[in-house]
Amino acid sequence: MNLPSKYLLGVFIILTGLGCSTNIKSTAAPTPNVQENPKVFCGISFFSIGYGIDVQGLKAVDNWVKSKGDSLQSVKQAWGREGEVDLCLSSHQAEPRTKVWIQELRTLLADFKNCRISGENACRSRK
């Protein structure tokens, strides 16, 4: 086989491969209300006015996050000398689900002091 024939054969094989299409269809059902990348949807700030944070409130939120399993992630950002911390919650779940979670958190933290629930803005880096 001479050199031009090898090139023609190679080009033919490549073009044939590109022209083939597969008819494989995904059998996985689409998951509704799920985002591809986790998004921070809520920030909880535990602050102190001279006597430390409400540790029981922080523990209650930690337990609540654990109860949600893998669908919810939390990151703690310490920022003060008396234990102040921001808790940033993120999830792959879409907004309707996260709104329910925010309402659950508001109910959970209603009796605790020195904590504030806000949007993702609480999860900014502190300078």
> What is the tens place of the pLDDT at every residue in 4-32?
666 655 656 665 554 554 444 444 444 44
Q: Look at residue 17 and tell me if it is in a domain.
A: no
Note down the domain range covering 95: 35-122
The CATH number of the domain where 53 resides is what? 3.30.70.1150
pTM to 2 decimal places: 0.65
Q: What angle do CA 39, 40, 42 make, to 5 degrees?
A: 140
Q: Could you read off the pLDDT of 34-63 as tens digits, one per residue?
A: 556 678 888 999 999 888 999 999 999 999
- Beta carbons within 8 Å of 81's beta carbon, 6+ residues apart: none
- Once rounded to an integer, what is the mean pLDDT over residues 56-77? 91
Unique residue bearing structure tokens 């409130």: 57
Give the CA-trace dihedral at 77, 58, 100, 88, to 10 degrees.
0
**Ramachandran sector of residue 119 (left: φ over 0; alpha: ψ -120 to 50; beta: rest):** beta
pLDDT band (50, 70, 90) for residue 81? confident
Number of domains in the chain: 1
User: Whole-angstrom Cα distance, residue 4 to residue 57?
Assistant: 77
